[in-house]
Amino acid sequence: MAVPTEQTIGTILIVDDEAIIRGMLEVELAQRYNVYTADSAEQAFSILRQHRVDLAISDINMPGMKGFEFLDRVRRDYPHTKTALITAYNIDDYVRMAKQSDISNIISKSTPFNFDEFNSIVYNLVTEKIFGLERYMLPDYALVASYRILDSAQIAGVEDEILQSIASFAKPQPFVQILLEELISNAVYHAPVDADGKEKYEKHTDVTLEESEAVEVSLGKDSEKYGVSVVDTSGKLTKQQVLYRIDRHVHGEGLLDESGRGIHMSRMYADRLIINIRKDTTTEAVFLNYFDEKYKGFKPLYINEV
């Protein structure tokens, strides 16, 4: 166990059969958390029986019990423990298993490893402080612009202003306009529901939102990336719905689906897509794009529900 040098935020369990990975992550987290490590599910369960763990992070492919089965049992036997997987392989190959196991966070072992991203994801999971673009940015983060949308007539103008702002500090990137269109339009047209839970508005029609339905859009940047956050006040999505939609599109089954295209396209075209949900209250979609190719690689899966 690593002994923290500062006041601890929580207790983390890292399960990975590769000693180098265990040691690397332990050293990185040890200043803020109590950290236990295990090289197998069997050893991890021994730790869980003795200590209260806030977050268990497991490799997917280990000898003996695999990561999905291990975290299934953790969630059943230790329901207070949050869970995440980590892998060096293509995460899209595991989306169906993630849906079946109700696991919504899979971290990528990118090369080089993105420690800043890893630290922010771990902190947000442990504390459940998941909302806000700034939580996914570096300390030098700066808010570039923010918008409050109450009318569908604002959408095109907001998108144009954001694209112009991005062009002032980043190289042109394909599909950013599609990202903005999908996320903002979905929040305006699909988030508001009536008393029966049915969508109130029809896409591509003129819509004036109620004050309580306002959509908040933020653009920010730090020294390595920029990000956009789109927040609506419905919270009607669930992580299972998001996993279902991603899974269908990843496997080519959702080409004709009426819903889910926006989430799939956003994840496909952004370097990072993060979905945050507070049931019946708030849904936030965050996309991040890096200024260079350093952390492109396989895309993680980040869906948080509190």
- HEC per residue, 229-267: EEEECCCCCCHHHHHHHHHHHHCCCCCCCCCCHHHHHHH
**Is the model's pLDDT at 3 over the cut of 50?**
no
Output the DSSP codes for 195-227: TTS-B---TTS--B--GGGPEEEEEEE-SSEEE
Joined together, the tokens standing for residue 46 give 């021994």
Q: Kindly report, residue by residue over 124-141, the tens digit of the pLDDT.
A: 999 999 999 999 999 999
Which residues, 6+ apart, have CB-to-CB distance to 198 below 8 Å? none
Task: State the pLDDT confidence band at 4, using cuts at 50, 70 and 90.
Answer: low
Query: What is the β-pairing status of strands 225-232 and 215-221?
Result: antiparallel
Mean pLDDT of 64-88: 97
Task: State the pLDDT confidence band at 223, using cuts at 50, 70 and 90.
Answer: very high
CB 46 within 8 A of CB 24: no
In this chain, the answer to whether the domains covering 10-127 and 133-305 adopt an identical fold is no
Q: Tell me the average pLDDT of the chain.
A: 94
CATH of 133-305 given 3.40.50.170, 3.30.565.10, 3.20.20.100, 3.40.50.1220: 3.30.565.10
What distance lies between CA 92 and its chain's CA centroid? 14
Kindly state the helix (H) or strand (E) to which residue 47 belongs, with its residue range. Answer: helix 41-50
SS3 31: coil
CB 88 within 8 A of CB 95: no
Distance CA 135, CA 204 (A): 32
Which residues, 6+ apart, have CB-to-CB distance to 175 below 8 Å? 265, 269
Residue type, 96: R
Q: Write down the pTM of the prediction.
A: 0.94
Q: Kindly report, residue by residue over 231-267, the tens digit of the pLDDT.
A: 999 888 899 999 999 999 888 776 666 666 778 889 9
Output the DSSP codes for 132-201: SGGGGS-TT-EEEEEEEE-BGGGHHHHHHHHHHHHHTTS---TTHHHHHHHHHHIIIIIS-B-TTS-B--
| R_g of the chain computed on alpha carbons | 20
**Is the model's pLDDT at 219 over the cut of 60?**
yes
**Domain map of the chain by residue range?**
10-127, 133-305
Residues pairing with 37 in the sheet: 14
Which residues, 6+ apart, have CB-to-CB distance to 169 below 8 Å? 221, 226
Mean pLDDT of 161-169: 98
Distance CA 275, CA 283 (A): 7
Tally Cβ neighbours within 10 Å of residue 52: 11
Joined together, the tokens standing for residue 301 give 């899966």
Q: Which CATH number is 10-127 given? A: 3.40.50.2300
Helices 19-29 and 115-127, packing angle to 10 deg: 70
Number of H helices, E strands in the chain: 9, 11
Proportion of the chain above pLDDT 70, given as a percent = 96
Query: Is the bond leading into 112 cis (omega within 30 degrees of zero)?
Result: yes
